[in-house]
Structure 1
Amino acid sequence: MNSMSRRALCQRLGLGVFAALSGAAGGSGPALAEERPIPYTDNELIDNGHRFFGSLSRGLAEAIQSATKRWGQPNAYVLGQEAGGAFVGGLRFGEGSMYTRNAGDRRVFWQGPSLGLDYGADGDRTMMLIYNLPSTEALYQRFVGVDGSAYLVGGFGVTALTANGVTVVPIRTGVGARLGINIGYLKFTEHPTWNPF
């Protein structure tokens, strides 16, 4: 083997090792550090909510504008359905899809207990605005809040739940009768479960 082919072989071997090492280092980075979702504008949220909620778009627009005035621009949102009931202690279960502009969409499930002066049952279509979400994986945790502090805007109930700097603002409309105040949490999961804890 002449010196030219040895040099070419060493260069190829060196390039192969460099590519393997940089691929390994670069390959593990994006998988671990997922891109932060980009915020949505009010108009984008209202358009997507209008398709989901239908004719209740005026009330939805008011609810979204009230939420963004208070918490800013969300960088993800969930559209789904949920059902809940309470007699002092309560439970809530839901399912839907989380949407982001640049970090992918995910199927999500949520469930949670509550405790308080709360009576009744309801079934809701729900849009959840999500603020300060660092990655889609960060949604899978428990978010605590007081549900009776909800206020109605155009027929929509709006509350806020927080965990580790992330805020989830459910905007609900539906059927049923529920009255009272409670404290509880929603636990988001990747798979459905009947265990609210």
Structure 2
Amino acid sequence: MLKSAFLKLLAAGLAVMAAPAMAQITEIDPNTADQYQTPAEEGYTDPYAVDPADTPAYPETEYQPVDPGLDQGMDAAPADTVPAAPAVTAAPRETVPREDIFTAAEDVFGKGAAGLGGIIEDILSDQGEPIAYIKGQEAGGAFVFGVRYGSGTMHHEIEGDRVVHWTGPSLGFDFGADASKVFVLVYNLYDSEDLFQRYPGAEGNAYALGGFTASYHRSGDVVLIPVRLGVGLRLGVNAGYLKFTENNNWLPF
């Protein structure tokens, strides 16, 4: 009996002590839990709170779609401003083709001239293809002292055509007069201005075939081989040179 009264008295005491705590408990609806805010304690300031007045306002920009075909890291240049690739051009020939040499020689001496193909072939086999040639004519005479006067057009494989003149004084056992058609093969003449000088004749370098004769003249690296087919009579042996000029010159020296 006494024990039962004691337990009732203890339960009543516990109920009195728990009442203030229960008064502070707030029941929360699970459906509105995200709207619940814990009231801040008095005097407490959140150090991470941001004042809306301090937040800069950014202007609204319209979204521009990006072409997925463009490189995102580079500015694409307009199609009309992209430079075109340079055109590839073939390097010009530095020598006259063999077929052009034979055609030019036939223009001077006539197509089918007996011995022409043979003497040109002999020169090309010995010297190779020239860088230029001269188509012209000359006339001269000699009585111990001799002279030649000639003129023609030089075709340079790189620099084109130009008119040239030449004289050829000589001295030796030489008599007679003649007129000749001349075809001159020109070697190692990389600047046509270098043609205008004197070219001594060289012994031991001559060609003769079927009425055609050819001699060898050289100055420095430039070599000239005139091929002649003459009309007239001029007999003998002489030594001399050829002098080339831009203008006609009556003085042979």
Query: Deviation per CA, 1:83-106, whole angstroms, max 9, x where unpaired?
Result: 011111101000000001221211
Match for residue 165 of structure 2 among 109, 118, 135: 109
After TM superposition, which residue ranges in structure 1, 4 or more long, deviate above 6 angstroms? none
Distance in 1 between residues matched to 2:157 and 2:241, nearest whole Å:
26
Paired AA for residue 107 in structure 1: V
SS of the equivalent of 1:68 reads helix
Distance in 2 between residues matched to 1:37 and 1:94, nearest whole Å:
28
Residue 133 of structure 1, CA deviation: 0.8
TM superposition score normalised by structure 2: 0.60
1:9 matched to which residue of 2? none
Paired AA for residue 172 in structure 1: R
Whether the 8 Å contact between 2:176 and 2:233 is mirrored in structure 1 is yes
Distance in 2 between residues matched to 1:37 and 1:113, nearest whole Å:
35
Higher relative CO (Cα under 8 Å, sequence separation at least 6) belongs to: 1
Which ranges in structure 2 are unaligned for 5 or more consecutive residues? 1-91
SS of the equivalent of 2:176 reads strand
Distance in 2 between residues matched to 1:108 and 1:74, nearest whole Å:
17
1:192 matched to which residue of 2? 248
Which ranges in structure 1 are unaligned for 5 or more consecutive residues? 1-35
Change (3 A) 1:150 1:180: farther
Q: CA RMSD in A?
A: 1.9
SS of the equivalent of 1:40 reads coil
Match for residue 109 of structure 2 among 29, 34, 53: 53
1:74 matched to which residue of 2? 130
Change (3 A) 1:157 1:47: same
Structure 1 or 2, whichever has the larger Rg, is 2
Paired AA for residue 213 in structure 2: G
Whether the 8 Å contact between 1:37 and 1:100 is mirrored in structure 2 is no
Distance in 2 between residues matched to 1:105 and 1:120, nearest whole Å:
33
Q: Percent identity?
A: 44
Indicate the structure with greater helix content.
1
Change (3 A) 1:194 1:147: farther
Distance in 2 between residues matched to 1:94 and 1:37, nearest whole Å:
28
Residue 168 of structure 1, CA deviation: 0.3
TM superposition score normalised by structure 1: 0.76
